């Protein structure tokens, strides 16, 4: 009897250790981005190892995949949709629209950047804002000519803080959307106030912090290239958005709406098949699935109970504030995707309000550091120590000014919305 | 006399105009622009935030090329406004440190107040403050625009040197 119990305990300890080591290895690979150890390969190996040692059963892994599968499919459709918008020239048109609307005034340009970045993030996800919109904003500000710092920093901040609105605005939202059981429209309805509050605070802090950069008009070379409005892509996007909102009423899962929108845009653009497959970022999809299995294994062996011990439960305001704060800290330590996978199963038990409070934390929190997490920051400091010196002081100061304020105000906004909506 | 004229977006015209008015005609002039690398870094390497993603580089010229092209265009605008011969010096890096470094061997640096258009300590932003504090040469500090009347300087017996 005694021996059997001891063996079980040592097996449990071994399973716990293996899952945590596998999780750590995946995170290190994702942050380090070494050519010889791609993160998606490490994620697959990690999943195989936790299965092989029995840290997760085959049925456990299958149910983790069943949970994540639809989310990953949804993500693939959204990535193709954003790629279709890029092919249709939507981001060049946004650049021309911002330059035209700025009328040589940096402050007006900042307002245009806020509108463009908040809308792009909400509808096409933070990935589109970071990868496709930010370079356009840089070029637009530099050509004004204005100091591009306020505009580029704003774009980078809003990619996170304006990703609260819709399930499609952030991969973390997609994961939480599936677990929360909310309809698309109700998710958006509850998050509208927190989203607006976050954008308003960003605007106030940015215009105050960069007041002198923004005050002076640019003079000289007014050059706003005329760009044709991508009417077709805009119509498809609007129809897709409408489809999302109506999806639960008409009984179609939003993933099919996204797939239809992506298909219509790409059929018109007719890109080479290889490019289309690359647009879905297959390695990201594999990475998310592998990471999901390893997190599920770690969750069964102590990680979930550790998270439960530090996370408040319930949906009252103090609990929501606590959940947002803990989630923000976790996102800053290990990046927000693993943080979401780790925290989500625990908060889902407290109800949709708690899930949304977690999203406020994991989405807004990464603005505290320049690259989204302390792990990434430390790694970059080691690897890029000999490259051009980069001053991250101002970015960090902006993070310190905005993040705590937005965490509190947006969570209060969420609590109010939960009472009303 | 060797003079460096710091050309920055939003304030460069004042620097060029005061240089033309106040520095001797035979002064050896260098127009200096510094592109901040942190902004390019945020704009190009933001994908490092996205765990597991490796998106293709965005289409179009690299941001470094756009920054270099715009810096050159700004320096050329400054030179044509100046209307006399000058060397053009386009640098990249931490702006305030590059400006101080460029001043080595120069007799005077022309720099604009880049803060509030009102007398007082806030009339210098952090970059111009750093440059004024650390420049190894004489500094000609100019207003970029017509300053509003600031508050009277603090009373030396009671007030602190920087009331706000």
For position A390, what pLDDT does the model report?
63
For position A395, what pLDDT does the model report?
87
What are residue B2's DSSP bridge partners?
B28
- Rounded CA-CA distance A282/A284 in Å is 5
Contacts of B36 in chain A (CB under 8 A): 147, 149, 391
Contacts of B117 in chain A (CB under 8 A): 215
What are residue B91's DSSP bridge partners?
B34
Q: Would an 8 Å CB–CB cutoff place A153 in contact with chain B?
A: yes
**Positions in chain B short of pLDDT 50:** 163-164
Q: What is the pLDDT along chain A (421 residues), one digit of tens a residue?
A: 455 677 777 888 888 899 999 999 998 888 888 889 899 999 999 999 999 999 999 999 999 999 899 899 999 999 999 999 999 999 999 999 999 999 889 999 999 999 999 999 999 999 899 988 999 999 999 988 888 999 999 999 999 999 999 999 999 999 999 889 899 999 999 999 999 999 999 999 999 999 888 887 777 655 666 778 899 999 999 999 999 999 888 888 889 999 999 999 998 888 898 988 988 889 999 999 999 999 999 988 888 888 899 999 889 999 999 999 999 999 998 888 999 999 999 999 999 999 999 999 999 999 988 777 777 777 766 666 555 556 778 888 999 999 999 999 999 999 999 999 7
What are residue B31's DSSP bridge partners?
B5, B88
For position A216, what pLDDT does the model report?
78
Give the Å distances, CA to CA, from A256 to A37, A75, A88, A168, A251: 34, 11, 21, 13, 11
Contact B123, B115 (CB under 8 A): yes
For position A121, what pLDDT does the model report?
96
Report H helices in A164-281: 171-180, 184-209, 211-215, 231-250, 254-269, 273-279
For position A223, what pLDDT does the model report?
61
Q: 3-state class of A274 per DSSP?
A: helix
Gap from B149 CA to chain A (nearest CA, Å)? 17
pTM of the model: 0.91
User: Which residue has tokens 């403050």?
Assistant: B129
Size of interface A-B (CB pairs under 8 A): 144
Q: Would an 8 Å CB–CB cutoff place A394 in contact with chain B?
A: yes
The closest CB to that of A390, out of B11, B37, B117, belongs to B37
For position B134, what pLDDT does the model report?
96
Q: Would an 8 Å CB–CB cutoff place A208 in contact with chain B?
A: no
Can you say how many angstroms the Cα of residue B54 is from the centroid of all Cα atoms in its chain?
35
For position A249, what pLDDT does the model report?
84
- Rounded CA-CA distance A120/A258 in Å is 15
Report H helices in A33-133: 39-52, 58-87, 90-102, 106-128
């Amino acid at each position: 009897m005694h021996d059997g119990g001891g063996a079980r305990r040592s097996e449990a300890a071994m399973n716990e250790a293996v899952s945590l080591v596998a999780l750590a290895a995946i995170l290190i690979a994702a942050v380090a981005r070494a050519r010889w150890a791609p993160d998606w390969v490490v994620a697959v190996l990690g999943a195989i190892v936790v299965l092989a040692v029995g840290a997760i059963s085959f049925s456990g892994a299958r149910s983790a995949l069943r949970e994540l599968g639809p989310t990953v499919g949804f993500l693939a459709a959204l990535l193709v949709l954003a790629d279709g918008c890029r092919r249709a020239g939507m981001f060049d048109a946004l650049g021309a629209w911002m330059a035209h609307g700025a009328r040589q005034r940096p402050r007006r340009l900042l307002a245009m950047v806020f509108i463009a970045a908040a809308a792009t993030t909400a509808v096409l996800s933070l990935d589109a804002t970071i990868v496709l919109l930010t370079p356009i904003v840089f070029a637009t500000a530099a050509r004004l000519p204005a100091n591009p710092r306020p505009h580029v920093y704003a774009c980078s901040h809003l990619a996170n803080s304006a990703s609260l609105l819709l399930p499609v605005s952030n991969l973390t939202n997609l994961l939480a959307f599936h677990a929360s059981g909310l309809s698309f429209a109700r998710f958006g309805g509850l998050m509208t106030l927190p989203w607006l509050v976050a954008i308003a605070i960003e605007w106030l802090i940015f215009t105050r912090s960069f007041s002198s950069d923004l005050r002076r008009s640019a003079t000289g070379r007014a050059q706003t290239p005329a760009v044709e409005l991508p009417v077709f892509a805009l119509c498809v996007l609007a129809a897709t958005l409408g489809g999302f909102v109506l999806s639960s009423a008409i009984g179609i899962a939003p993933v099919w709406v996204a797939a239809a929108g992506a298909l219509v845009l790409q059929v018109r653009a007719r890109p080479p098949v290889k490019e289309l497959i690359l647009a879905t970022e297959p390695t990201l999809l594999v990475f998310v699935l592998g990471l999901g299995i390893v997190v599920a294994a770690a969750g069964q062996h102590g990680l979930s109970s550790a998270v439960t011990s530090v996370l408040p439960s319930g949906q009252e305001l103090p609990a929501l504030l606590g959940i947002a704060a803990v989630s923000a800290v976790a996102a800053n330590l290990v990046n927000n995707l693993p943080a979401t996978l780790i925290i989500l199963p625990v908060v889902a038990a407290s109800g949709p309000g708690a899930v949304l409070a977690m999203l406020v934390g994991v989405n807004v929190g990464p603005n505290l550091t320049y690259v989204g997490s302390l792990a990434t920051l430390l790694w970059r400091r080691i690897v890029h120590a000999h490259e051009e010196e980069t001053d991250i002081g101002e970015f960090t100061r902006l993070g310190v000014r905005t993040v705590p304020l937005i965490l509190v105000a947006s969570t209060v906004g969420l609590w109010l919305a939960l009472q009303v909506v | 006399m060797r003079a460096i004229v710091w050309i920055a977006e939003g304030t460069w015209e004042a620097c060029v105009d005061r240089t033309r008015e106040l520095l001797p005609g035979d002064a050896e002039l260098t127009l200096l622009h510094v592109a901040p690398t942190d902004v390019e870094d945020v704009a190009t390497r933001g994908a490092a935030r996205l765990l597991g993603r490796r998106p293709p580089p965005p289409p179009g010229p690299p941001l470094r090329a756009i920054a270099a092209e715009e810096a050159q265009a700004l320096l050329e605008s400054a030179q044509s406004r100046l209307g006399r011969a000058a060397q053009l010096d386009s640098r990249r890096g931490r702006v305030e440190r590059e400006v101080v470094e460029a001043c080595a061997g120069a007799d005077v640096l022309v720099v604009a107040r880049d803060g509030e258009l009102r007398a007082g300590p806030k009339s210098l932003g952090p970059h111009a403050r750093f440059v004024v504090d650390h420049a190894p040469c004489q500094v000609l500090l100019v207003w970029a625009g017509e300053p509003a009347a600031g508050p009277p300087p603090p009373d030396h017996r009671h007030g602190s040197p920087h009331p706000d």
